[in-house]
Structure 1
Amino acid sequence: MKKAISKSFGILYHIWYYVVMASVILAIFPFIYTTSRKEDTYDKFFRWARVWAKAVLILMGLRVKATGLEKIRKGQQYIIIANHASELDIMMTLALVPSPFVFIGKKELAKLPIFGYFYKRTNILVDRKSVSSKRRAMEMSGMRLAKGTGLCIFPEGGIPAKHELSPFKMGAFKLAVDYQVPILALAFPDNRRHFPDFTQGGYPGIVRAKILGEIVPKSKLEEHAPALRDESYRRIFDALNE
């Protein structure tokens, strides 16, 4: 009985999430539409995206309790990485990091009503089953980094089925080495519990975020990328298991 109630509430909570997400987008539509049309107005769009993210979290009854905010340097370009546990990860990252960045995300997100339209216009989409799509995503990522915009990559490559940190793929770390951009590592210990898959429950409350600081590439040698990956994995793994 208790499990059935939790499941039913979780379904209603997810429906509320999609209603809130779409409603906030519609409320700020004129601003995000005009600022998403050109790359040179992306910084303005990004500010509105942060407004959207914070509003969604508040209206879902989620309060972000962040530690380590002082480790984020204002105006610093980053390649942001985090464990991928929930759809909340997108809103949380936007709410926490003030420097403009774009997401590298799966192409399926472009199919979501309303949200998908703007996600496709402003971020880098990748088909993980296509080698050419992955190559193109890396090229576009490099172009963004060269122009001073940051990236957010969930290096597990998707939300893992098991409740544990999956091995990290190399893309984010190769880019960090090639463009000498510091990694900013985040850990989200509670997102899966508060907002799991559609039929698995979910509820409002406090969601923790741990900002683990910068991990700076030590050289432009490609051989350094695995060490950067391993250090990033260790920090996030340790933070999730504290």
Structure 2
Amino acid sequence: MKYLYYLYQLVVVLPLFLCSTILTALVTTIGCTLGDGHFWGYYPGKLWSQFTIRILLLPVKVEGRKYVEKGQSYVFVANHQGAFDIFLIYGFLGRNFKWMMKQSLRKIPLVGKACEAAHHIFVDKSGPSKIKESYEKAREELKDGMSLVVFPEGARTHTGKMGPFRRGAFMLADELQLPVVPLTINGSFNVLPRQRDGRFVHWHPLRLTIHQPIYPVGKGADNIQTIMSESCQVIKGSLEQE
């Protein structure tokens, strides 16, 4: 059955995924250039993500949408299990947001241009001034209910275990006095394990847990440390033991 699923991916999924990716990138770029960047920067990517997961026949469960309020800006922070974190959050979080992503992703043909047109935020770590520019752009985007999604680990896990968090997202939330919403992702590492059969997707359920917002309890180093520690504990607490 496993090899039949692999064959299905090669014959059916791969051509559909490539075509939908190119179409999504073009629609996003053109739409953001000619029209509302918040609309065209989110909905084509959302549909593309849902389509990708559906054609791979992966079941998805989302919990906790009731905790986020319409019109409120949030900084969402999630554990980073693998590539399918992108599809799960983009397709099923149910909130318009901007990604905070690595500068290197700008180089991906078509996709990088689409992300730039959609005003997603590339983090340039080449120097303090560049990092500051990234935060300034994030500050400009987080208005009128727009939110931000960050992977505070900074990179995908190689082992399936969650790594230590970096302070950047929590410093931004502290500066803007925005609530932080932890997101726990389960199953993404199993869908595309990095140690084995890296070219093929493995069938496995995906689960996205949206936790209650963590509101600032002040401003400064103590608040940053508090919300970072609490976010880490909350996310870890909902991770499934494999």
May I ask how many residue pairs the two structures share in their alignment?
Answer: 238
Distance in 2 between the 1:134 and 1:14 partners? 40
The verdict on how the C-alpha distance between 1:132 and 1:29 changes in structure 2, with shifts beyond 3 A counting, is closer
**Preserved CA contact (<8 Å) 1:183 1:215:** yes
1:113 to 105, 109, 115: 109
Counterpart residue number, 1:223: 222
Q: Is the 8 A contact 1:176 1:183 kept in 2?
A: yes
Confirm or deny that 1:76 pairs with 2:72.
yes
Q: 179, 182, 188: which is aligned to 1:182?
A: 179
Give the structure-2-normalised TM-score: 0.84
Q: Render the CA deviation track for 1:82-122: whole Å, top value 9, x for unaligned.
A: 00111111111112223321111112222333323212332
Q: Per-residue CA shift, 1:204-233, capped at 9, x if unaligned?
A: 242111112211112234431110000000
Q: Does the Cα contact within 8 Å between 2:58 and 2:206 map onto a contact in 1? A: yes
Whether the 8 Å contact between 1:11 and 1:199 is mirrored in structure 2 is: no
Considering only aligned residues, what root-mean-square deviation do their CA atoms show, in Å? Answer: 3.0
**How do 1:2-151 and structure 2 match up within 5 A?**
13=9, 19-28=15-24, 31-37=27-33, 40-122=36-118, 123-128=120-125, 130-146=127-143, 148-151=145-148
Change (3 A) 1:62 1:38: same
**2:212 and 2:7 mapped to 1: Cα distance?**
35
Q: Distance in 1 between matches of 2:64 and 2:37?
A: 30
Native 8 Å contact 1:81 1:185 kept in 2: yes
- Describe the shift of the 1:15–1:207 C-alpha distance in structure 2 as closer, same or farther (beyond 3 A): farther
Q: Which consecutive unaligned segments of at least 5 residues does structure 2 have?
A: none
Report the alpha carbon displacement of residue 185 of structure 1 after superposing the two structures with TM. 1.1
Is residue 2:206 matched to residue 1:207?
yes
Residues 190 and 207, structure 1, Cα contact 8 Å, conserved in 2: yes
Residue segments in structure 1 that go unaligned for 5+ positions in a row: none
Q: Does 1:160 align with 2:165?
A: no
CA distance in 2 between counterparts of 1:15 and 1:219 reads: 55
| AA aligned opposite 1:166 | G
